[in-house]
Amino acid sequence: MRREEYRVEVSEETMEFHRRALVVDLHTDCLIAARILGRDLSKRHKAPSGFMPWRLHADIPKLREGGVDAVFLGVVTHPWPRKAYARAVRVIHYERYVVTKNSDVVSPATTPGDIEAARRSGKMAVLMGVEGMHMLGGRAERIEDLYRLGVRYITMAHFSTNRFATSSADPIARQAKLGTLGIQAVDLMNGLGMIVDVSHTHTDIIAEVCRRSSQPVIVSHGAVSAIRPVFRNLTDADIRNVAGTGGVIGLIYAANWLSPGREVPDLGVVIDHADHIRRLVGVDHIALGSDWDGFIEIPRGMGDAAGLPALTQLFFNRGYSSEEVEKILGLNFMRVFREVTTRKGKRVSTANELQAGDAKGNVANGKAEWSR
């Protein structure tokens, strides 16, 4: 895509509002370049100009300058199940190393209270989301292991179909069904108080997961098919299904998923996608899910994570109220996070028991048992 100069003038009033607001990003991939190329996330790196996946949109200085109070770092591996779980655990340990190294300015978080405590102490909260159940290697009990390691959401599928769910990128699956393992996964996550994420997931699976889940479901990073009809974007039915659970959709900043064409769109295209969701289901179901450093090119007008206030300005320019913008920046997700962590059930059957029952065909309707 070609880039042309485009600037958003951010007013002092908007900057002050943005600093006061609680800002949560649901999906950032800066760990990929940090691990593979040894990028030190404690340092400020030159921002990409166009598609330059090994430069960083997001490092700790830029995230803090952009007013981000909490960020979910993506745990990403290759798309195949072989050894993916071991690789995921290594990424998690690396994330812990990064947080410990920068403990003067960031804090590990696994609960809404942790996010609020970090903010009061002037630190940025860092959380983890696993992108794709292929990393479970077909073993549901690993969901609990990941929860104990601090992961607070898992995406049902990434760019490959796995034993739990079908990917939206699957070139063969025109239709898909949530099987026993997928049902178990949703039930286990509901019981643990772990968020179910349906980014990248086949539309049929999104519908079934939303019907199955007793708690809000999220799309950590996504866009609208009505504006940009492409396989990984959300249909109106997907949006309604997620909203029907009380969940949120994190707006992605990836130019290719936001707009067709040869020219890179300006940042207003993100607001176009927000407008569509707002008209369809209301502002309470919109959040931020940048996908910074996820091998993407971002729209003109932001530059990198430090430029996030420009997006806040564009929401105001488009006529959103202060209350609406505050919800989008972070309060909508915090509502979901509180609901998921406070409505979790006391688990009766262990994951190992569920796995054994599935192997024997003894799990009735594939449903785990939880006491409410």
Give me the CATH number covering residue 343: 3.20.20.140
pLDDT of residue 345: 67
Task: Specify the higher pLDDT residue, 1 or 348.
Answer: 1
Q: Which two tokens stand for residue 30?
A: 């800066």
Cα 188 to Cα 72, 127, 185, 286, 370: the distances in Å are 21, 20, 5, 26, 9
Asked if residue 7 is part of any domain, the answer here is no
The tens digit of pLDDT for each residue in 102-124 reads 999 999 999 999 999 999 999 99
Please report, rounded to a whole number, the percentage of residues in the chain having pLDDT higher than 70.
Answer: 91
Q: What is the DSSP letter of 366?
A: G
Asked if residue 313 is part of any domain, the answer here is yes
**Considering just the CA atoms, what is the radius of gyration of the chain in Å?**
19
Judge whether residue 356 has pLDDT over 50: no
Asked if residue 93 is part of any domain, the answer here is yes
The tens digit of pLDDT for each residue in 37-72 reads 889 999 998 887 778 876 899 999 999 999 999 999
Domain count, the chain: 1
pLDDT of residue 353: 38
pLDDT of residue 2: 52
The rounded distance, in Å, linking the Cα atoms of 207 and 241 is 6
Asked if residue 190 is part of any domain, the answer here is yes
- Give me the domain span that covers residue 125: 12-360
> How many CA atoms lie within 13 Å of 113's alpha carbon, on the beta-carbon side?
2
Asked if residue 82 is part of any domain, the answer here is yes
Asked if residue 368 is part of any domain, the answer here is no
Poorest-pLDDT segment among 126-130, 225-229, 353-357: 353-357
The tens digit of pLDDT for each residue in 3-30 reads 557 899 999 999 999 999 999 999 999 9
The rounded distance, in Å, linking the Cα atoms of 208 and 201 is 11
Q: Give the residue from 347, 338, 316, 345 showing the smallest Cα distance to 329.
A: 316
The tens digit of pLDDT for each residue in 150-166 reads 999 999 999 999 999 99
Q: Give the residue from 131, 130, 197 showing the smallest Cα distance to 158.
A: 131
Task: Write down the pTM of the prediction.
Answer: 0.90
The rounded distance, in Å, linking the Cα atoms of 130 and 153 is 6
| Contact status, residue 231 vs residue 276, Cβ threshold 8 Å | no
- Computed over every residue of the chain, the mean pLDDT equals 91
